[in-house]
Structure 1
Amino acid sequence: MSGAMYHFGEYELDTGRRRLSHDGQQVHIEPEALDLLCHLVEHHDRPVPTAELVGTVGRGRAVSDAAFAAWLRAARLAIGDSGTRQQSIRTVRGRGFQFVARMKAASTSVQASPTVRVTGAVSEADHEVIRFCRSVDGTRIAYAVTGEGPPLVKTANWLTHLDLDRTTPMWAHWFDGLTRGRQLIRYDERGCGLSAWDMGSFALDDLVADLDSVADAVGLDRFPLLGVSQGGAVAVAYAALRPERVSRLVLTSAYARGQLIRAGSDDERDAAEVDLNIARVGWRSQDSSFLRYVASQFLADATPAEWDAFAAYQRQTTSAANGLRFLEEFARIDVSGIAHQVTCPTLIVHCRDDARIPVSQALELAMLIPDSRLVLLESRNHLFTADDPAWPTFLSHLDNFLAE
């Protein structure tokens, strides 16, 4: 992939690697907004018509005026511009938009990394390459393949960002542990990370189709599947609806029914609504006290500083509007009616004192899925931390199960 390195002010834009930096630090920007910025910079010698930008960034899909305006605003904000402060991206009335900042350009190239076919999948040599595919409705899905050996596909879940997960303390040990002796295929959920943030429909069928598109893009016919947290419900649905593709299923910190669906009494329904409202207020206001409450449910044994880091990471993975939609949609998800259709061997791992998803949900999954086994670990964390004693135990159970 070829491109150029553009320097303007304190910013650096690598159009080949699709990377924007400010004073040497990467600026995280919605993929469509970054594509828009790259196109404007590469065609800085002229005003670029709106229709051309929509066609380039949307790749032939129908794009609403609101979506385009959001991409433009995000691109401007990422480089210190705004609709009124147009020092870099200027609106040219009747003609479109033009990048007008003074800059220097240097050519660069990125060689495509070699790929080899291993057990039906693609392996990247030495480093990870992020790729993109399209789901059946045209939504862009970002995925990555790392490591060598038998494949393991991890369903997407909220709070991932392929470009950040290898280094963020919340996920780095997951990445290292899951790629040990195998090939890990992971992807960002629609509306999250490097996948399209303008996600359109968000039904269970869409999430199943997204996983199909990733498996097809990688070249997998049959594979083991790992579902973590709310990704577990998607993994159950996929294994039930695509039995020919899933050889083994691993679920951890998972559930079949969302919090609002499984509430069986007025008290439980009130508690579910309070929990959801606290998360809503936190996302809308970005108030640290509310966000810490949400973080404490995911990482019960973490420090307040770690909760704040967790909240900051949330803001990098998706927009506030999408964050609210994820919360509400997964609170109402229900795969309990199809879980009995899962025919592959299934390992269910759950922490006895999970502060986010009660252990009763693991018991329900074990009763619903015919060929399943349940392992309960001693921990309060919803997501295993690197220093959690339950973490190496989980990896050991995972390795043994997949090796059978």
Structure 2
Amino acid sequence: MTPSNYDAVRFCQTADGTRLAYTVTGSGPPLVSTANWLTHLGLDRRHPMWTHWYRDLMRDSRRGLRYDERGCGLSDWCPPSASPQVWVEDLDTVADAAGYDTFPVIGTAQAAATAIAYAAMRPHRVSRAILISSHAQGRQVRARTELDRRVAGVDLDLAKVAWQSGDPGFLRAYAAQFLPNATAEEWDAYIAFTRRTTSPENMVRFFQMIATIDVFPLARQVRCPTLILHSRGDTRVPATDARELASLINDSQLVLLDSPNHLLTGAEPAWAELVRHVDDFLAD
């Protein structure tokens, strides 16, 4: 694939030599989308899983900055880092390269942890934060009972077995946690895209990292206005986690959406509601 196929992708280099891919689209007020491993700047803008996210949130009337996390997409496929400090330094590198100074951040799922860490550790750069399908702690960290720990262990084992074996049954079982009301064809499209974002080895590392994320202490330090959006029926990250996160961030508002999906689809009514809340929050 030649650069002409990409969406004006640029590259910058971190202090430790990792090359990160980023793109800036549109014009107007800035908005930075913090990275998670389910991205690929050469593919995601045209993929059904993400098209509506970029069309409706990173629209042309905003100067939207997106980047691929280290370990995936068009960034170097080096091992990903579980350190919030590294996430923050990587975002510093990308924002500086793109010429961004102060900006709102928006993070979905794992990327919300990066948004939380950045807002806490770089308060002078973050004007507002939007957290979607987010949580302060990964499944293994937030396990409180023996059953919780067993469930977290099974979840991680399922992820490893599914992606390492490529077994369609295991893969669909995993995809169903993110898109429970999707069709088998939609699950297969999600799986196919995911497998193109990174290597199998890094995929396992990402799963382990997500299970052990802990930005609980940092969430208490966030001082900027924060909007938290979460599906009521999310089984991947229960709405109770979103309520807990809202209790940690002083200047926050929580909106629960009527959806079972961890990653909202563009066709469901909850998506239009999410977009409206984001627009209102950024215009306030």
After superposition, give the CA deviation of every residue in 1:67-122 in whole Å (9 maximum; x if it has no partner).
Answer: xxxxxxxxxxxxxxxxxxxxxxxxxxxxxxxxxxxxxxxxxxxxxxxxxxxxxxxx
After superposition, give the CA deviation of every residue in 1:327-357 in whole Å (9 maximum; x if it has no partner).
Answer: 0011101010121111100000000001211
Q: Which is greater in Rg?
A: 1
For residue 311 of structure 1, give the secondary structure of its aligned residue in structure 2. helix
* Alpha-carbon distance in structure 2 between the residues aligned to 1:245 and 1:209: 13
Task: Give 2:219's match in structure 1, choosing from 316, 319, 339.
Answer: 339
- Unmatched tracts of structure 1, length 5 or more: 1-12, 20-126
Name the residue aligned to 1:217.
Answer: 97
**Matched residue type, 2:67:** Y
Name the residue aligned to 1:369.
Answer: 249
Q: Does 1:240 align with 2:125?
A: no
Task: Give 1:357's match in structure 2, choosing from 237, 241, 244.
Answer: 237
After superposition, give the CA deviation of every residue in 1:155-188 in whole Å (9 maximum; x if it has no partner).
Answer: 0012100111111100011110013321211101
Larger strand proportion, structure 1 or 2?
Answer: 1
Q: Which runs of 4+ in 1 moved over 6 A?
A: none
* Alpha-carbon distance in structure 2 between the residues aligned to 1:178 and 1:354: 21
Deviation at 1:202, TM superposition (A): 4.2
Deviation at 1:128, TM superposition (A): 3.4
Please give the TM-score of this superposition, normalised by the length of structure 2: 0.97
Please give the TM-score of this superposition, normalised by the length of structure 1: 0.68
Matched ranges for 1:3-402 at <5 A:
14=2, 17=3, 128-180=7-59, 181-199=61-79, 201-402=81-282
Percent of matched pairs sharing the same residue = 54
**Matched residue type, 1:169:** P
After superposition, give the CA deviation of every residue in 1:346-373 in whole Å (9 maximum; x if it has no partner).
Answer: 0000000012111011001100011000
Deviation at 1:272, TM superposition (A): 0.7
* Alpha-carbon distance in structure 2 between the residues aligned to 1:352 and 1:200: 30
Number of equivalenced pairs:
283
* Alpha-carbon distance in structure 1 between the residues aligned to 2:239 and 2:165: 31
**Matched residue type, 2:150:** D
* Alpha-carbon distance in structure 2 between the residues aligned to 1:278 and 1:182: 39
- Unmatched tracts of structure 2, length 5 or more: none
* Alpha-carbon distance in structure 1 between the residues aligned to 2:39 and 2:15: 22
After superposition, give the CA deviation of every residue in 1:108-144 in whole Å (9 maximum; x if it has no partner).
Answer: xxxxxxxxxxxxxxxxxxx931001112211111000
* Alpha-carbon distance in structure 1 between the residues aligned to 2:252 and 2:4: 43
**Matched residue type, 1:364:** E
* Alpha-carbon distance in structure 1 between the residues aligned to 2:73 and 2:7: 16
**Matched residue type, 1:143:** Y
RMSD: 1.4
For residue 46 of structure 2, give the secondary structure of its aligned residue in structure 1. coil
For residue 326 of structure 1, give the secondary structure of its aligned residue in structure 2. helix
For residue 337 of structure 1, give the secondary structure of its aligned residue in structure 2. helix
For residue 273 of structure 1, give the secondary structure of its aligned residue in structure 2. helix
* Alpha-carbon distance in structure 2 between the residues aligned to 1:206 and 1:348: 24
Deviation at 1:200, TM superposition (A): 6.3
